[in-house]
Structures are given as structure tokens and as C-alpha cells.
Structure 1
Amino acid sequence: MNRLLNRWQLRFGRYAIHNLMMYVCSTMLAVYFLQYMLYIPVISWLDLSRNALLHGGVWRLITFIFIPPNNSPFWLLFSLYFYYFIGNSLEGAWGSFRFNIYYLFGMLFAIAAALITGYGSNQWLNLSLFLAFAQLFPDSEFLIFFVLPVKAKYLAYVDWVLFALGFLFGGWSNRITILFAVANFLLFFGKDFIDSIRNYFRYRDTRRNFRKNMRGRGGNPW
């Protein structure tokens, strides 16, 4: 994947949108203002549905990314700041072009899921941004409830558990949506992610064997 991205960057890198999440989050805020302050039903014109696409609403292939994550002013501002921080961090680590490609693939997977299930949203796309952030910056800390510091990797573990529960106990449409959401992350991080899981189990087995040996010799296994 890296070699392919390098070739794409040489050919198309000049077309990258810099500070992409600033534009996405700013437009989300504008949509929120129109929908919930001016009571103009813009979200119904922007959301992603198979039926609307088949009736000519092709702009929805792009505009669904601008739908606000919630209708609470406080949580909206919190969410937009969070998305901007995550996206800006990824863009700083990868460069604008690679971040654009990651976001574009997330959009394409969301669209594919919508064509199969009938409806799509940007929820899972935004979640794939956090999974990428946690993979690159696992020890970054977030304040849960603005008080409790938790590392990004532990929040990612919670997300993976939620994914698994949703896949096991959800309907088929939910399972398809989850698979496509995870596909974006695995496309970019599949090898590194699998290697990190293998290394964890190897470390665990090594430590367990060491403790057994220490107990057998009468030592302190800590």
C-alpha cells in the first residue's frame, strides 16, 4: 500500500486539500446552524441513501460527510474539536495527500455500505479516523469527562469491543456497515495491526513462561 501511495503522491500530490478537516468541520457547523437555528431542513438534502441516489441525488456522495454528529450545541462543538484535532494530527503525521486518500477511501467504503444496506452516514468514517490516530499515537491521552486521563490505545480497545458486539448481535445491515468501516483502517494498517497483536501474545507467552520458570526455581516471579 505504501508503494502505491508513493506513486499516487508523485502524480497527484499537488491536488491534495490542505487542512481538510477544517473545511469538513466548518461545513458541519454551518449545516448545524441552518438545520437547528434557522430550521431549514438541509440534512434531508445532504444525507446518503440509495433511494435518493437512484433518483438523481448524486451530490449526496459527497455532502453526507458534512452532516453534524449530533444536535446538542455543547457536544457538537466538542465533537468538531475532536474531529479537527484527530484529522490535523493525522495530516501532520502523513502529509496532506495521504490523509486525503485515507479520508477518501473511508468515504468510498461508506458509500459502498449505503448501496448495499440502503443508507449510510459519516459516523463510521469519523470513527476510522480515531482508529488510525490510536494506531499512530497510542500513548496520547484524552480527558474522559474532562477529568480522567485515558490513553488513545485503550479507547481504541473499547471501540473494537463495540465493533465486535455490534457485529455479533446486530442485524445484517449493521454487520455490513461495520465491515466496511473496519476495511478502511485495515487497508492502511492491516499488516502493522496484525503484527502488533502477534507481538502482544508473544510477549504475554514469554512473560508467562518466565514466571513459571521462576516459580519452579523458587524465585520471585514478581
Structure 2
Amino acid sequence: MNFLNKMERKLGKYAIQNLTFWLIGAWVLGFIIQYTMPEVQRMLILEPALILQGQVWRIVSWLLVPPPVNLLFLIFFLSCYYFIGNSIEQAIGTFRYNVYLIGGILCSILGAFLLFGFYYFFRGVAVTGIGYYFSTQYITMSLFMAFAVIYPNVEFRLYFLIPIKAKWMGIVDAVWMAFMLIASNAAGRTAILASLMNFLIFFFSTRNYHRVSPKEIHRKQVYRQQMRQAQSVTRHKCAICGRTERDGADLEFRFCSKCDGNYEYCQDHLFTHQHMKQS
């Protein structure tokens, strides 16, 4: 977080305002291409083997490939993620939101090339088809999981009827991705981990680890011990019979103004005691 603070002071003026709008715009264009020119969409996916052959536009154009969404829910999907992205930006700031979203995109690109390099250098195969695993679907899920962490109690209407809080939907997404991580092949696992790396960094870097440090744990233990000792100390004690407030909740104690010194007496001895004089 200190590193981000320094980077924000230096580069914060270059942060893109309302970055979600441009991401949603790219998806809208991608949906148009998908339903009007499906053959063109194959030229947009993130394919490291073809990028190294000169098709460098694929480094960026894969963002035009939208997540798999039913056309009937398209408007709801786009408006929902526009709300999610803007809410995250308002919560963490424009610069940090840029780092989060662009960081997830860069991690996906890096993961695709690392996977290609592994197959090429260790198995001698220039694998193609990697780009079908690296899609914007996991980018959207990382956005929603960040939203669920920041706004856990915001309610969504599932199927426009069932109210469900964001934190429960985030847990469902996490369980589903864990299942996909186990069930997928190497390419699928790399794609999931790479696209969620920004969320993992964000989640663990924003936790308050001070409360689980050994020094803080020791301080809490000392505090609880002192509180227990304080509870065992009585506030009132009769100078004659020695009774305290523990001997009865209805007991009353008063100081005697005629005694020399701070002598306190219970209600039974306040008027019957012998006054204490220093002489």
C-alpha cells in the first residue's frame, strides 16, 4: 500500500477516469462483432503463438471478446457491471482502480505467454488454442469479488425477485472458481489464477495484519488480565465491619465528614460509629 501511495503521487494524474465505461464499450463492440461477424472474433483472441508471428493486435483485441452472456440479459449484465466498476472506483480511488483492472488484464496476458513458453521450451511444442481459455469472463469475476469485499451487504435481485447479498454471491463465485481450478486442465488453471491475481493481491494487501501480530496479541492478553484484576477490586468498604458492595447490592456507603481522614461506612454504621480523630 505504501508503494501504491508513492505511485499515485507520481502517476495519479494519468489515471483514466471512468475506466469501466470504456471496458463496457469494448464489450458492446464485441457483442456486435460476435453476432454480425463471428469469423472476425477468432482474430481477436489472446493467442501467444500468433502474436509472436506478428499479430500483435491480439494483445489488446482480446478485450473485445465479451463474457458469455445470454442476449436477453445483456442490458442487465452491462448496467450491473457498470455499477460495480464505478462503485469500486469510488471506494478505492481512480488510480487504484486503474491499477486493479489493468493489473488483472496484464496478469492474464503474462499468464498466457508463460503457459506458451512452458510448452515451447520444455515440451518443444508451439501450442495454439490457449486464447480460448484466457477470456474476459474471469476479469468480470475478479471485479465482482472485489465489489463483494468492499460492499458485502449490498443486495442484488436474483432473477429480479430473490434478494441476495453481495458477500454470499462472492462466496458462490469463489467456490465455483475453486471447483473449476480443480476440474480444468493446465491452461484453464493458469487462466483462472492469472486473471484473479489482482484480486488476491488486493485482498491480502488491504487486510489489517496488525491485529494478529504477536505484539498486538500480547497487548490484548495484558489488557484482559488487567480488566479481570480491576473487576476483583472493590470500590467501597466499611471501616467498621469491612463489608463491601459485593456483600449486597442494596448496601449503601457514605463518607463521614466528622472523621479525620477518608473513612467510609456502610448504612448500618454511618450514624453509630465512633468518629476517628487524628489527635
Q: Give the TM interval when normalised to the shorter protein.
A: 0.7 to 0.9
- 1:86 Cα deviation (Å)? 0.9
- Counterpart of 2:108? 110
Q: Larger Rg: 1 or 2?
A: 2
- Counterpart of 1:61? 59
Q: Which amino acid in the other structure matches residue 102 of structure 1? A: Y
Could you say what secondary structure the match of 1:77 adopts? helix
- 1:139 Cα deviation (Å)? 0.5
- 1:79 Cα deviation (Å)? 1.9
Pairs within 5 Å for 1:26-105: 26-36=25-35, 38-39=36-37, 41-70=39-68, 72-105=70-103
Q: 1:124 aligns with which of 138, 141, 144?
A: 138
- Counterpart of 1:179? 193
Pairs within 5 Å for 1:129-208: 129-192=143-206
- 1:40 Cα deviation (Å)? 6.2
Q: Which amino acid in the other structure matches residue 189 of structure 1? A: F
- 1:152 Cα deviation (Å)? 0.5
- 2 CA distance for matches of 1:176 and 1:122? 14
Q: Which has the higher helix share?
A: 1
- 2 CA distance for matches of 1:96 and 1:42? 33
Over 3 Å counting, the alpha-carbon distance change for 1:194 and 1:67 in structure 2 is: farther
- Counterpart of 1:210? none
Q: Which amino acid in the other structure matches residue 89 of structure 2? A: E
Over 3 Å counting, the alpha-carbon distance change for 1:96 and 1:180 in structure 2 is: same
- 2 CA distance for matches of 1:66 and 1:41? 14
Over 3 Å counting, the alpha-carbon distance change for 1:72 and 1:169 in structure 2 is: closer
Could you say what secondary structure the match of 1:45 adopts? coil
String of CA shifts for 1:51-102, please: whole Å, max 9, x gaps: 2211222222222122222364322222211221111111111121110110
Percent of aligned pairs with the same amino acid: 36
Q: Is contact 1:68–1:76 with CA below 8 Å preserved after alignment?
A: no
Runs of 4+ in structure 1 over 6 Å off: none
- 1:28 Cα deviation (Å)? 1.5
Structure 2: segments with no counterpart, 5+ residues: 117-129, 213-279
The count of residues paired between Structure 1 and Structure 2 equals 194
Q: Is contact 1:110–1:124 with CA below 8 Å preserved after alignment?
A: no
- Counterpart of 2:215? none
- Counterpart of 2:19? 20
Q: Is contact 1:70–1:76 with CA below 8 Å preserved after alignment?
A: no
Q: Answer yes or no: is 1:11 the counterpart of 2:10.
A: yes
Q: Which amino acid in the other structure matches residue 184 of structure 1? A: N
Q: Which amino acid in the other structure matches residue 126 of structure 1? A: T
Farther off after superposition, 27-36 or 137-146? 27-36
- 1:178 Cα deviation (Å)? 2.1
TM-score, normalised to structure 2, is 0.64
String of CA shifts for 1:147-206, please: whole Å, max 9, x gaps: 0011011011111111221122222222222222332111111155697xx9xxxxxxxx
Q: Is contact 2:26–2:63 with CA below 8 Å preserved after alignment?
A: no
- 2 CA distance for matches of 1:71 and 1:137? 24
Over 3 Å counting, the alpha-carbon distance change for 1:156 and 1:74 in structure 2 is: same
